[in-house]
Amino acid sequence: MSVLWPAVLMARALTCSIKGIPRGLIVEPSQGCTGGCTECDLSDEPAALKSEELDEWLKASPAKPVTIHFSGKHSDPLASPLLKELTDTARENCSMLSISTIGLGLKPAQERLPVDRWIFSIPAATEKSWETLRGNNRFGEALNTIRTVQQKSRAMVEVVFTIWKASVNDIEAFNRLIQKENWQHNRMVFGRFDPEGNHFGRLENIALNHEDCPYILTGHDKLILKNNLQGCPLAGYLFLDASGILRPCPFTGDESPHSAKPEPESWITAREWLEQKKKRSYPACEWCP
């Protein structure tokens, strides 16, 4: 890391602030997924973001982001055949780069990608609950991926246990894994409800049986947030999806504003989304914990 890194980071943060552009950009490398869950219905030809598209968007922005975070919606960055190229492009255009993944399908040498942080999201901490949720048993593969990255990458490694109904009793098992696997950075979160009914976020998977779950069930299969939350957890971020569309966050869809043209006006328009995000006025905000 260059000795100029802190100065560049501060200059980028200042420019973002002056220009009113969020400091973070979440990028979806691919709409494909490596999870292979039995009940998942993914496209056979998922969109994959090209590094040229990412570059075009970044060049059009009035302010380079401080942070770029590769993540997915119902997808995983490791499904992208272009992850190396995307990583190189992102690396040149930000000060901190991270990848969030389910840790399945790691290809040779990907553990050495030049990122600052790997975030592994696991839906269970035992084989049994993993199998119940995903319909396959790749728990060991996920653990092996995390070990490989711990051993071969200099990046920070964080493990996030997402609690679902089937894994609600895995909290102790996760705590044991933290010790056994030396996961120094770790946290637990509750799974997010997905009103579209895709992915794990289906109603049947939400851990409503845990007292700390952010949702309660009312009426006919209708979930609501327990607390009247203020603000937006992703106020400092925008989302570029794998088809090259800029959106307020990974959870808003075509019913909310979005821009398909990588030009400065799209970034200027995106500045106006912040107030709506803070007011939680998009339909997806209703279920955003």
Residue ranges that bind ligand SF4, judged by CB under 6 A: 232-234, 248-249, 251-252, 277, 280, 282, 284-285, 288
The distance of Cα 148 from the centroid of its chain, to the nearest Å, equals: 21
Closest separation between CB of residue 275 and ligand SF4, Å?
11
- Tell me the CA distances in angstroms from 32 to 40, 96, 154, one per residue in order: 11, 24, 27
* Side-chain half-sphere CA neighbours of 152 within 13 A: 14
The alpha carbon dihedral of 240, 245, 251, 256 has a sign of positive
In the complex with ligand SF4, which residue's Cβ is closer, 147 or 192? Answer: 192
Closest separation between CB of residue 102 and ligand SF4, Å?
20
Q: Which residue has the tokens 């997010």?
A: 192
In the complex with ligand SF4, which residue's Cβ is closer, 118 or 251? Answer: 251
In the complex with ligand SF4, which residue's Cβ is closer, 70 or 130? Answer: 70
Largest CA distance in the chain: 58
Q: Which residue has the tokens 């009035």?
A: 62
In the complex with ligand SF4, which residue's Cβ is closer, 152 or 279? Answer: 279
Closest separation between CB of residue 258 and ligand SF4, Å?
12
In the complex with ligand SF4, which residue's Cβ is closer, 121 or 153? Answer: 121
d(CA 50, CA 115): 18
Count of beta carbons in the 10 Å neighbourhood of residue 263: 15
In the complex with ligand SF4, which residue's Cβ is closer, 6 or 233? Answer: 233
Closest separation between CB of residue 252 and ligand SF4, Å?
6
Nearest to 251 by CA among 237, 262, 267: 237
Closest separation between CB of residue 289 and ligand SF4, Å?
8
In the complex with ligand SF4, which residue's Cβ is closer, 258 or 277? Answer: 277
Question: Does residue 4 sit in helix, strand or coil?
Answer: coil
d(CA 186, CA 175): 9
DSSP class of 224: E
**Contact status, residue 124 vs residue 162, Cβ threshold 8 Å:** no
Closest separation between CB of residue 248 and ligand SF4, Å?
5
Closest separation between CB of residue 253 and ligand SF4, Å?
10
Nearest to 274 by CA among 65, 20, 28, 58: 20
N residues, the chain: 289
